Structure 1
């Protein structure tokens, strides 16, 4: 029996993510529902999980499965969006369309990347872009998941809606300047109904 074609044991398997679900729950709250990858028919390559943090009345929708897709990301990635509970459907939509885009184009996000859109992402809003980065409320351990040896295996990029004015401001002044603007005006980035600060 030939062993010449056998590959070494995979180091990219699911065992790299042991404890991920518990880590997400620790910061994002109690899982309340899940949407399977085949919710609309064919397997789209990822599911969506809803977490609720009662203390802050926040819901986080987090993708589940992007880490197994050939996106070229190292470490692997998942996407999250946190909003007030009654706005959960908007977060679901934003994570869904962003995940679909990554899977379709076999690409990934980088920290502080802005993904623009010609039309408003959500009807009745000025949001024309999403900013990917660390979570504004949760600690770095939410964004950067490590295995039992302390090796980073996954990054959870939080998507923050950006208005058209803020998009133009960020393109002109840079993302750090936009974040300072948000801090200056005490912008509630979890509120889909918030006004633009630029």
Structure 2
């Protein structure tokens, strides 16, 4: 038996008319998709892959979290942008974060960190992600509105962070880390980048 909140979360697909075109306008040409049942059972979301040739960037975006009863208002989806060669790693970061949200029936808030005890990506220092607006795309990518201008969806960009940076955030806050990234001209799209903390 579904609750009223679950019914309202699952309905209302009409609110997202034009979303696909909006994502493509900013993230580039769609290059593939992964269905919700790729591992057998329906995990509650799929993944869509985009490529922006101008910047050699690939973006992986979840599709379906907006219909899950996560309690988010407006609804949410996740994105991760990296260099094309690292697209599989971006897929993994979006997948594990979305899976956590569905399992725990929770949502993200701006500047929230999602830490992990072990490296999320083998051979890197990446131990978590930071929920953010997109560093390159305009606000229209992050905040999707209906034709009446009412915000219907937030697309949180997952910025990979190292263990040192996670600890730095705990001590100094997210704004201080962003200042460090700017100071050292850190390329947040490069998963092999050095840690600033």
Q: TM-score, normalised by structure 2?
A: 0.94
After the TM superposition, which parts of structure 1 deviate over 6 Å for at least 4 consecutive aligned residues?
Answer: none
Q: For structure 1, which runs of at least 5 residues remain unmatched after alignment?
A: 1-8
Note the 1:56-135 alignment, pairs <5 A: 56-135=55-134
What's the secondary structure of 2:177's corresponding residue? helix
Give the distance between the partners of 1:32 and 1:158, measured in 2 at CA: 19
How many equivalent pairs are there?
Answer: 190
CA RMSD of aligned residues (A): 1.3
Q: TM-score, normalised by structure 1?
A: 0.94
User: What does residue 183 of structure 1 align with?
Assistant: 182
Give the distance between the partners of 2:9 and 2:70, measured in 1 at CA: 17
Larger radius of gyration between Structure 1 and Structure 2? 1
User: What does residue 55 of structure 1 align with?
Assistant: 54
What is the CA-CA distance between 1:12 and the residue it aligns to?
4.6
Give the distance between the partners of 1:182 and 1:47, measured in 2 at CA: 31
Q: Deviations along 1:54-112, whole A, 9 cap, x unmatched?
A: 00000000000000000000000000000000000000000000000000000000000
1:172 matches 2:171: yes
Give the distance between the partners of 1:10 and 1:160, measured in 2 at CA: 26
Give the distance between the partners of 1:99 and 1:56, measured in 2 at CA: 26
1:45 matches 2:29: no
